[in-house]
A and B are shown apart, each in its own frame.
Chain A
Amino acid sequence: MNKILLIIKREYLSRVRKKSFILMTILGPILMAGILVVPIWLSLQKSEKQKIEVIDESFQFSYISSKDGQRKGLIPENESVHFDYPEIKIEDARAGFYDTDYDAILYVPSNLLNSGQLGINLFYKKQLSNNVQEHIQSNMSKMIYEVMLAQNKVNMNVIKDAKDKSTFTLRTIQLDETGKDKETNTAVNVGIGFACAIAIYFLIFFYGAQVMRGVMEEKTSRIVEVILSSVKPFQLMMGKIIGVAMVGLTQFILWVILTTSIYSIAAATVLKGMDIKQVQQKEEVIRIGQNLDVNHMGKIEHNPVVDLWSKFDNVDMTEILICFVLYFLAGYLLYSALFAAIGSAVDNEAETNQFMLPVTIPLVFSFMIAQFVTQDPQGSLAFWFSMIPLTSPVVMMVRLPFGVPMWELALSISLLIGGFVATTWLAGRIYRTGILMYGKKVSWKELGKWLFYKG
């Protein structure tokens, strides 16, 4: 037992001291924080104000002032868009477009309301941002809507009142066994589930490959024979697997710590003191307003990122984090044993390919399954693939934010641990033969035989 600790210590220290580990540890959180902060930062950025030339032949969006005879616009402006209403023909405007500093020409034909189809066009030099397009479209649509109601002598207030009273958002609340309510949001669940699944998939591959390369290094450098004269092959294999697992955990913990600190620093500086809670609250207010206003086509700009953030509170992040670590560890142990067996059976990296494929297929497959799982997280497909040890780490992480009964979690984890014990046993038998076998191209049949060799 003492010797396995020595092996774990060496495997751990030799990796943690590497430059690549330190680099990954530092770059990881920067990337993660970037993924979290950049969208928020971008969404809060005011883009450069767009100048748009409106050629309104229909006079639905502008009128001639009786005071000074000038045309006055009606389309609301905001911080990112400004409208001018010059008296100019569309042909001339088009011809002279590049001599002006306008970013776009908005053309409203004269027969707007009679043609049955609204032929409103926007000509641009460079693509306008979605926000600006959205702003133009929703405001103009709303204005036409009101005009049409008015033309038909419908009372605007009646409509508005009916809309307001009939509009609601369907709240989806999970009632758990303890009788507690848990409000969920499908998009957030899918997002969290997939993020965790991707992370598990990536980490298993990354650290599994490290185990494989470590085994191959020992085999090709021939030090394995010296070490095996002191310890059992199984001890060496497990020492390596556990050592690398601890490297993974260390990196993960450092990432969480660093990401959190970088994120809070970034949030403090980039968001200019605007606490995320404040953003959420502001957004909450906006959302309530929006619900009331839902079909009146947005006076309010919707910020999907901040909106998403506000829903994280509804997901049990502690449960997810604990399960993530559990599934990562158990899944890693299962796969890394197989990776170790592959590493022991081959003489060089090129030969690993034929054995890698069958090991990676279940992982890739579980990722494909994940898409169906999000559509029906409690279905039988989701259930079974979150039980099968080879696919459960990825599939269960996708299911988890939707809520998984305790007994299913327990069963899945137990099966995964059972699977890990089985693959480790299997891998150990291949390993102890393979690690001492040189210059022989190994086939699947050969590997099968090794399972039954006597120690």
Chain B
Amino acid sequence: MSSILSAQNIVKKYAAHTALDNVSLEIPSQSIFGLLGPNGAGKTSLIRIINQITGPDSGTVLFEGQKLSPQHIENIGYLPEERGLYKKMEVGEQALYLAQLKGMPKAEAKKKLKDWFDKFDMNAWWNKKVEELSKGMQQKVQFIVTVLHEPKLLILDEPFSGFDPINANLIKNEILSLKEKGSTILFSTHNMGSVEELCDHIALINRSKKILDGPVKEIRKNHKSNTYEIEFSGNMMGFTNSLWTFGKLGEHKMDGDYCKAQVVLTPGSTANQLLESILPVAQIHSFREIIPSMNDIFISKVNAENPLGTKSNFTE
């Protein structure tokens, strides 16, 4: 799979502070790429560099193999985390203006806008001033403006914040259908649930450095700790003895003769061996491998990097 965007050894410094320290990224075409990291990690700096709002101090960004230049602006759509529209300007006029700034001819922009307004059932808003709309409505307008010119690369910074669950779902489906149509989505978020649900790839940035990247499935696979959760009826003592050398008992609890235990496989053992050894002593209700959630990986990674006392808290 070729990459639509490739950032190589990006460094960005502000006076006394390094925002990005030698960060490299490969964003594969037609994928959803999650850019994760605690607040102040450097995500916004990186996004601004990709959008050519600022330039890197060193390093290069390639768009479809070419050095990033103003001609690529038309191929990128950007939804910033802090949403903003001209409050006193009418919705339709403003959407047209922003589309034209992205290089769309007026007539084409108008036609596409009408389609989107039909789709989201918001034709009545066309002549309204932005300040007359609710926050959720403004968000919808902004989303449309971002995707209107059908960019190859769509950069969405916290796209779901401010939407109610129904509209968030609407937007999620739009994002997936844009991907189907060939767009690549760079998706910056704190919402780990949506990362697992949507992202194909992720990169984790912490304290100006990239500390992890790769396909989501692979990362989760790499971070699994060979831990299995077993629910069974039987004797806990007999269960523990039966583990032999195949596994080590972790967290466990009992409710009468109903037990739930986590077992970590010893290196070299397989799940099947473990299962075989416990079969004679326990009536098994369930047996499943515990795969860490992105949330767990995120927290453990960030906390491992950061010294004690500055632990970030990412539960959403």
Contacts and interface: CB of A to CB of B under 8 A. Distances in A.
Interface in B79-112: 80, 82-89, 97-98, 100-103
A134 interface: no
A225 B86 contact: no
B52 interface: yes
A233 B98 CA distance: 15
B86 A221 contact: yes
Contacts of B142: 226
A14 B89 contact: yes
Contact of B101 (A14, A230, A454): A230
A6 B84 contact: no
B84 A224 contact: yes
A117 interface: no
Interface stretch (B53-61, B173-181, B183-191, B234-242): B53-61
B55 A223 contact: no
B148 to A, nearest CB: 12
A3 B101 contact: yes
Contacts of B76: 229
B51 interface: yes
B85 A223 contact: yes
Contacts of B84: 221-226
Contacts of A224: 84
Nearest to B142: A226
A449 interface: yes
B48 interface: yes
Interface in A408-455: 432, 436, 449, 453-455
Looking at chain B's contact residues, the main secondary structure is loop
A44 B145 CA distance: 64
B304 interface: no
A10 interface: yes
A69 B177 CA distance: 117
A317 interface: no
* Most chain B CB atoms below 10 A, which of A221, A226, A227: A226
B15 interface: yes
B291 interface: no
B78 interface: yes
Nearest to A438: B82
A122 interface: no
A430 to B, nearest CB: 14
Given A14-B88, A227-B98, A231-B101, A455 B80 contact: no
A433 to B, nearest CB: 9
A228 B146 CA distance: 13
Most buried by B among A7, A14, A223: A223
B73 interface: yes
Q: Which of B55, B84, B86, B89 has the most CB of A within 10 A?
A: B84
Q: How large is the interface on A (under 10, 10 to 19, 20 to 34, 35 or more residues)?
A: 20 to 34
A148 B89 CA distance: 81
A227 B101 contact: yes
Interface in A199-223: 217-218, 221-223
Given A226-B98, A229-B76, A436 B86 contact: no
B51 A229 contact: yes
Contacts of A232: 70
A94 B271 CA distance: 127
B102 A225 contact: no
Given A223-B85, A228-B53, A454-B57, A436 B48 contact: yes
A226 B88 contact: no
Interface string A1-16: 0010011001000100
B53 A455 contact: no
B83 A230 contact: no
Given A436-B48, A449-B15, A225 B89 contact: no
A94 to B, nearest CB: 68
Contacts of B52: 229
Contacts of A218: 86
Contacts of B51: 228-229
Given A222-B83, A449-B15, A455 B55 contact: yes
Nearest to B100: A6
A314 B60 CA distance: 66
Chain A CB within 10 Å — which of B14, B98, B101, B103 has the most? B101
Interface in B37-60: 48, 51-55, 57
Nearest to B130: A221
A225 B100 CA distance: 16
B14 to A, nearest CB: 8
A436 B80 contact: no
A454 B97 contact: no
B51 to A, nearest CB: 4
A326 B55 CA distance: 37
A73 B84 CA distance: 83
A10 B76 CA distance: 23
Nearest to A221: B84
B54 A225 contact: no
B308 to A, nearest CB: 28
Contacts of B98: 226-227, 230
A3 B54 CA distance: 18
A221 B130 CA distance: 11
Given A6-B97, A226-B80, A230-B102, A221 B53 contact: no
Nearest to A220: B84
A233 B70 CA distance: 13
19 contacts: A6-B100, A6-B101, A14-B86, A14-B88, A222-B80, A222-B82, A222-B83, A223-B85, A223-B86, A225-B53, A226-B84, A226-B145, A227-B98, A230-B73, A230-B98, A230-B103, A232-B70, A436-B54, A453-B14
Given A6-B101, A218-B86, A436-B48, 5 more contacts: A10-B97, A217-B87, A226-B78, A226-B84, A455-B55
Interface of A: 3, 6-7, 10, 14, 217-218, 221-233, 432, 436, 449, 453-455
The 4 closest A-B pairs by CB, nearest first: A222-B84, A223-B84, A230-B101, A229-B78
